Each structure stands twice: as C-alpha cells, then as structure tokens.
Amino acid sequence: MNEKPLITLNQYIAKRKIFEIPSYQRGYVWGKSRRTNSNDTDSVSFFINNLIQGFETKSSMFLQGVTVSELSDKIVIIDGQQRTTLLYLIMLYLGKVGNFTIRYTVRKESDSFLQGLKGKSLEEIVRMCSLNENEAYQDIYFFKKSLCLIHRKLHNIDKEKLFEYLSHQIKFLYINIPEANAASIFTMMNGNKADMLAQEVIKADLLRLVSQPRNEVVIDESTRWDTNMIRSRYAREWDKWLHWWNRTDVQDFYNTKNIMGLLIETLYNSKEKDKLSYEGFKRVFLDKDDKIKAAKDTFSMLRKLQKRFEDVFYNYELHNNIGSVMHIQRNAQPFIQSYFVRTDEITDINLYSDLVYLGVNHSDIIKFDKKAIQMAYDYSFDVLQNDNLYNEEDKEPAFRQLLRRNVQAYTDIKQAFDFGIWKERSLEHIFPKSKENELGSFEGNSGVHSIGNLVLLYKNDNSSFNASSFNDKKAIYFSLDKRKGFKSRNLLHTISVFASEKWGIEEIKKQKETFLDEFKNQYAKYNAKYSDENA
C-alpha cells in the first residue's frame, strides 16, 4: 500500500500507466437515469454538479477511493471503473487527456471507441454525442450519453481553469493491493454494491457540505486549510463508525451485514419508511435552506445514535437485555426505532425483554396490553408443563425460556452473553430418549420429553452426545481435553444442570417443578402490575 494513499487526480494520471478494466468488471453504466419520487437523476450529473460547486467555491472535492493492482506497465482497476472512466471522458472533452489511457481489453468495440476519441476535436466529439437508442453496445451508449451530459453542463466553463482545478483539487484514496487478491476482493466489495454506493454517496455529500465555506466568507489559503481540517475530522469520525460496524461481533449482535450497520438506516427510517437511497436521504435531511447547517445537524444526530448503539454493546446489562430482543423478534425494526431513536417510548428495558421472552409482540408491549400479555403467559406455561414438550410442533416457548435462564446467568456474573446460540439452537435430552424404558415413570409418564429433562445446546454439539448416558454426557461437557470446539460449555444454565451428581426420574421431576416455579416467580411481578393498574 502507498505511504501516502490520499492522492490528486494529477498524481493518478502522472503514473503514466495504462488503466486496465479487467474481465470481471461490469460495463460502463454511468449516465443511466435513476427515477426518484421527485426527479430523474444520474451519477454523471450528480458528479458534475458537485464538480462545478467545488470549482466555483475553490474547495477540494473528495471522491470515494479507488482500489487497484498497480503493476510495472499497467494499473488494473478493481473498484473505481465508473469514476475513472468519467474522469477520462471529462479530460478528453477539455482537450487535456494527454497520456491518460484506459483500455477495455475484454470488450474490443468499447476499447476501439475510446481509443478513437483521442485526437478528435471538440466539435467532432460533440457530434458523436447523438444517442442511438438501438446502440448495440452498452458501454458505447453510456460513453456517448456521458459526453452529452458533460457538454451540456460544462460548455460555458473556462476549460483551462477547470483543468487546473480537476488536476489538483480532486482527491481520493488510492488503495493498491496484490494482483492475486484482485478478483476475490472485487467479489467481496460488490456483494452489497447498491447499499455500499448509497451510503458512500451520502458520506461524500455530507463531507462536502460540512467543509463548504459560507458565501460571506473570504476564501483564502487559511479558509481552505480550516475547511479541509473540518472535513478531515468528520471523515475520521465516519470511518471510525464504519470500522466498528464491520467488526464481526458487532454485526452478529445487531444481526446486520450492512456496510454501516444499523446507523444510517435507523436514522433514515425514523423519518421515512421506504428503502434507504441517497435521493431519499438528501430530501429528508439535506434539502434545507441552510444546507451546511443541515449537514452538521445530521452528523450530530448520527453521532448521538452511534453512541447509543455503542453504549448498548459495551454495557453487559443492556447488551443482554437488548441482545435477546434483537435475536428473538423476527422484525426488530419497531423496537430499534422505539429504543434507539424515540428514546422515551421504552422506559423499562428489563420488562420489555422479559415480555419478548414470553413471545409478546412490540405493539402489545408498548401498549402494555394486559390481555395479550396474559395470553402469552398462559400459552408459554401450558407448553412448559407439557410432559411431551419435545415432540410437540411448537417448542419456541421452551427455547425462549431456556435462553432467558442462560442469559440471566451471565447478567448475574456481570458478563455479556454470546447470542450466537440462537441461530444454532437445539434442545438436548439429558437422560437419553432412546433409553426411556429404563427410566421408570411418574404419573404414567417418564417425563423424558419434559422441560425437566431438556437443556439448550448448540446444534453441532448435540450430535456429540448421541445416545450417551448422563455420566458420559457429563464427562464430555466438563472435559477440558476432548472436543475443544464444544461451544455449549459457555451456557451457564445448561452447565448447572449437568453439574448434578446423578440423573433419574426424581431429578427430572424436581427439575421440572423448579423450572416452572422460577417461571411463575419471574412473571409474578407483572401480574402485580396488572393488579396495580386495575385497582
């Protein structure tokens, strides 16, 4: 990687190497209209509008970085094809393309068109802009459309001065990686391309606005230094958020693979319910009379929201309560909005998470719907007291209550719980079900399929037990030398059950009674709440 990864366009071109578009890249598509609720827009127009604004205010324009593999004779573009091609077309239009060369080596027609543009006069280039809707090659169609848009927006601008601005005030990160890793990194970067592009454009526009001097300010070298420092500070803060949200443990906890996690999406959805897009974000947060203030206010809102996400993750009690909600609820968006944005809606997170363990939905919890809560309690209790629980179709109440017991054990020792179990959960018989006839019975039932004989395990660990006896399972559970990948050793409630000296019909019966008593005691306080409200 370069020692100085932030470079200017002039430094990019001055490498005097051919920029090669590799075979795994998609075609050139900038210039394609993207219809929004209010207007038509396209990436070329967006880029040039920002370019003109930066040129007129004499402020630097920072672009999304490019990722390349730089070789002795060429630079293979992994990410940045569209931007690099557009910059080439702009320089061509200005008559300043010089040694700047792009090769579409796997698409001969596209490559021939681009090479044929070199040496042509401005009049000849403009004449080539006439669009043919039946153009056989996508790249060529959008090369021409981009040139049309460039001409429409730049024909009245001083081309010499614009060239100087482009050369020295367009800046971006230049990321050079080994060629052997290029294809795999391209696949990784483009796996969630639409989301990445929307949020990168949001970032770029926010940074442009916060570092833009006000009209009444005299623009001199000192002003430029100050605005660049402001932009740099905001950019570092954004990148710190980006790094945090791309940690595996954070993504797993919040159930997201989004490039910026839940941050941008949550703020946007607090105002709008449609899918996040740059156009939507801009309309909601940035299209104000004072755009600079709007951008800074938006950063402030993001900063507060980010801190709330981080506070939850690092506080063991909040981590455990909110982690249970994030994993049990199938749609956690209403909760996220209520807890992280409208912070006065959930005043007792312990109560909220306890009711989630019962299976009560968000709306009924917020309203504290006594009837819905009582129904959920009664249903859960019926499932838990069923001696044939394991064979019933709905085992979710058992899963939820066993999870609660394990999470509570971690809260008691002031540690954060790993919710990875929820996606890999299974119910395991302590006394093996295949040996049920050896157990005896109480009240006509062995209880082998009851909550008294069931614990929560990781499903991959379940197979380690097979039909082993209690003592054999116990030996596996507590062995430090065997099966080191046995993740279920982290389940403290499960451990407490296997710590028993023996396991038979009396122990199963007692375990069931103890489990049901704990369940009733846990929710008795909410019964008292019903009584208080009815009084």
Whether residue 435 sits in one domain with residue 410? yes
pLDDT exceeds cutoff 90 at 308: yes
Whether residue 199 sits in one domain with residue 70? no
Whether residue 198 sits in one domain with residue 187? no
Whether residue 4 sits in one domain with residue 92? yes
Which tens digit of pLDDT belongs to each residue from 446-466? 688 999 999 999 988 776 676
- Name the nearest CA neighbour of 154 among 64, 209, 91: 91
57 occurs within a structural domain:
yes
> Contact at 8 Å (CB) between 212 and 55?
no
- Give the range of the structural domain holding residue 464, as residue numbers without chain letter: 331-534
Q: Against a cut of 0.85, is the pTM above it?
A: no
Q: For residue 213, what is the DSSP state?
A: P
CA distance 62 to 172: 6
321 occurs within a structural domain:
no
Which tens digit of pLDDT belongs to each residue from 389-405? 999 999 999 999 999 99
Which tens digit of pLDDT belongs to each residue from 468-488? 778 887 777 777 655 555 778
The number of CA neighbours under 13 Å toward the Cβ of 512 is 27
Which tens digit of pLDDT belongs to each residue from 355-393? 999 999 999 999 999 999 999 999 999 999 999 999 999
Whether residue 458 sits in one domain with residue 359? yes
303 occurs within a structural domain:
yes
Whether residue 361 sits in one domain with residue 460? yes
Please report the pLDDT score of residue 182 as a whole number: 55
Mean pLDDT value across the chain: 84
Whether residue 284 sits in one domain with residue 348? no
The residue out of 287, 314, 341 marking a domain boundary is 314
Whether residue 410 sits in one domain with residue 454? yes
The mean pLDDT of 16-24, rounded to a whole number, is 83
323 occurs within a structural domain:
no
Q: How many domains does the chain have?
A: 3
Please report the pLDDT score of residue 64 as a whole number: 76
| Residues 282-315: b if buried by 16+ CB within 10 A, e if exposed | bbebbeeeebbebbbebbeebeebbebbeebbee
Whether residue 206 sits in one domain with residue 187? no
Please report the pLDDT score of residue 513 as a whole number: 95
Rounded to 5 degrees, what are φ and ψ at 91? -65, -35
* CA 172 vs CA 91, 158, 278, 292: distances in Å: 17, 24, 20, 22
Whether residue 345 sits in one domain with residue 271? no
Whether residue 84 sits in one domain with residue 4? yes
- Name the nearest CA neighbour of 261 among 182, 326, 344, 172: 326
**418 confidence band (pLDDT: 50, 70, 90):** very high
The residue out of 158, 191, 224 marking a domain boundary is 191
The mean pLDDT of 140-145, rounded to a whole number, is 89
Whether residue 170 sits in one domain with residue 59? yes
> Contact at 8 Å (CB) between 456 and 421?
yes
Helix (H, G, I), strand (E, B) or coil at 102: strand
* CA 122 vs CA 48, 84, 101, 127: distances in Å: 18, 20, 18, 9
6 occurs within a structural domain:
yes
The residue out of 168, 191, 214 marking a domain boundary is 191
pLDDT exceeds cutoff 60 at 38: no
- Name the nearest CA neighbour of 238 among 284, 299, 281, 173: 299
